[in-house]
Amino acid sequence: MLILLPPSEGKTAPRRGRPLDLSDLAMSELTEARVEVLDALVDLCRSDEVTAARTLGLGVTQPAEVTRNSALRQAPTARADRIYSGVLYEALALSTLDGPARRRATSWLAINSGLFGLVRPSDRIPAYRLAGDVTLPGVGPLASYWSRHLDPAVREAAGHGLVVDLRSSTYLPFWRPGPDVAKRVVTLRVLHEVDGTRRVVSHFNKATKGRLVQELLADGTAPRTPSRFAEHLTSLGWTVEVGSPGRSGTRVDVVVSDL
């Protein structure tokens, strides 16, 4: 099973650690593409701070983010699951899992990234700032760029197993499944129900996805079809509704009343 996660804009910068080595990252077929994006980002941030901040969607109070990006090649690195520090990752809390569950995380989880395309939780990366909706000089829109590179890596990582897509809307264009893969893709949505009314609440959507993935890793069962996946979530105590298969996969809604 492959579980695709979004990155977090919030990141924890390590104080020490060896510099970035792209050749050490998993999914080595992405190395050349990663080099191109990294070079473009560093060059942008070294050339003009004001232009770089505007391009990256940063405010005037965030010059440190541009400075950090300009030194990414020499910056200390840490495991990706320690760098990403947003709501989903706080709820996922990989460090609290036992050994078998953490090993499953290494092989089951892949994090979409504007800078690296995809990374595994154990990949050593620096803290960076590059949102998925940025258009990078020399590279173009990141979504379009990575859409030309990610499919072989996703297919290799998924093998013949299920793909559970938990990415946010910004990162969905980075990879879309072909017809042969879509039949074993689950797209998961979290709905908050209050007095019969359902809605998506961003913060709690992320937190619920983090808790759900933590339970999947702890349990260790790897369903191979969307229907089996939905049945498995139900057995874990979640309220689940399954939609019809579509071009992007089968949508599974997880309905929660407590946040």
Which amino acid is located at 73 in the chain? R
**Confidence check: pLDDT of 195 > 80:** no
**At residue 7, what are phi and psi to the nearest 5 degrees?**
-80, -175
pLDDT of residue 219: 97
Torsion from C-alpha of 202, 230, 155, 109, nearest 10 degrees: 50
CA distance linking residue 222 with residue 162, whole number of Å: 8
Residue 105's nearest CA partner among 120, 119, 118, 90 is 120
CA distance linking residue 171 with residue 167, whole number of Å: 6
CA distance linking residue 75 with residue 9, whole number of Å: 18
Mind giving me the DSSP string for 4-39?
EE---S-B---SS-PBP-GGGSS-GGGHHHHHHHHH
pLDDT of residue 259: 59
pLDDT of residue 25: 98
The structural domains of the chain, with segments of one domain joined by +, span: 2-256
User: Residue range 166-177: average pLDDT?
Assistant: 96
> Judging by DSSP bridges, how do beta strands 2-5 and 163-165 pair with one another?
parallel
CA distance linking residue 254 with residue 237, whole number of Å: 11
pLDDT of residue 221: 97
CA distance linking residue 100 with residue 84, whole number of Å: 21
Between residues 61 and 105, which one has the greater pLDDT? 105
In the chain, % of residues over pLDDT 70: 97
Residue 45's nearest CA partner among 126, 123, 144, 112 is 126
Mean pLDDT lowest for which of 17-21, 105-109, 197-201, 218-222? 197-201
- 251 confidence band (pLDDT: 50, 70, 90): very high
CA distance linking residue 211 with residue 153, whole number of Å: 26
pLDDT of residue 153: 98
11 neighbors 88 (Cβ within 8 angstroms):
no
- 205 confidence band (pLDDT: 50, 70, 90): confident
Between residues 75 and 199, which one has the greater pLDDT? 75
**At residue 109, what are phi and psi to the nearest 5 degrees?**
-95, 140
